[in-house]
């Protein structure tokens, strides 16, 4: 069982997939705002004036790659193809790295006075929560990848159970 013992690993990964696709679509819908503001946000104190295209490109590329890797994860899950699960795991690693770098940049801008400090803290906290969730989900995705690999190698074997997976076992989380 995964997700605090409520769902099995397959359903947990599908739930994570739905959550990520939902937020990627919502953020993609909001992305044109980055062009209209053109980088002139109140919390940047004019530091990124004219940088709307950069933020738009970064934002859209993260959302589009999330949607593509999520589609591959879904197809890999349905067809039991482990190689299609890996792109989403790599996307999750990439998002974790982007989150950490964004927190470092935001806090540096806040401390240097190029961004309002309260805004820096709030945006860093939001990126931190997303990064922590993505770390947890990445562990579940890796456990699911291993589960699919094991069941693909031994389709009729019952010796491999998601409950016994050390990355997903409920007892190891307590």
pLDDT tens digits, one per residue of 85-114: 999 999 999 999 999 999 999 899 889 888
Whether the pLDDT of residue 126 is over 80: the answer is: yes
- What pLDDT, on a 0 to 100 scale, did the predictor assign at position 115? 82
Report the range out of 39-43, 57-61, 93-97, 161-165 with the highest average pLDDT.
Answer: 93-97
Residue 101 or residue 39, greater confidence: 101
- Vertex 83 angle, CA 82 and 85, to 5°: 65
Backbone angles phi, psi at 80, to 5 degrees: 55, 50
Q: Who contacts 156 (Cβ-Cβ below 8 Å, separation ≥6)?
A: none
pLDDT tens digits, 50-99: 666 777 888 899 999 999 999 999 999 999 999 999 999 999 999 999 99
* Range scoring the smallest mean pLDDT among 6-10, 27-31, 82-86: 6-10
Q: CB under 8 Å to 167, separation ≥6 — which residues? A: 139, 140, 142, 143, 146
Tell me the β-bridge partners of 2: 7
Going by C-alpha positions, the residue among 141, 145, 149, 144 that lies closest to residue 66 is 141
For residue 172, what are the CA distances in angstroms to 37, 40, 74, 146, 167? 47, 47, 27, 17, 8
Specify the pLDDT at position 53. Answer: 78
Domain ranges of the chain: 9-173
pTM comes to 0.78
């Amino acid at each position: 069982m995964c997700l605090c013992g409520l769902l099995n690993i397959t359903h947990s990964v599908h739930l994570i997939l739905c959550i990520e696709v939902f937020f990627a679509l919502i953020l993609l819908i909001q992305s044109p705002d980055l062009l209209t503001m053109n980088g002139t946000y109140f919390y940047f104190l004019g530091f990124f004036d004219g940088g709307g295209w950069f933020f738009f490109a970064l934002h859209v590329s993260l959302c589009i790659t999330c949607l593509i890797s999520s589609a591959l994860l879904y197809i890999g899950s349905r067809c039991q193809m482990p190689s299609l699960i890996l792109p989403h795991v790599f996307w999750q690693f990439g998002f974790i790295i982007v989150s950490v770098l964004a927190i470092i940049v935001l806090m540096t801008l806040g401390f240097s006075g190029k961004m309002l400090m309260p805004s820096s803290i709030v945006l860093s906290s939001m990126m931190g929560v997303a990064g922590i969730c993505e770390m947890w989900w990445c562990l579940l995705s890796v456990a699911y990848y291993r589960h699919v690999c094991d069941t693909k190698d031994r389709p009729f074997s019952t010796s491999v159970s998601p409950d016994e997976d050390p990355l997903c076992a409920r007892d190891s989380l307590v």
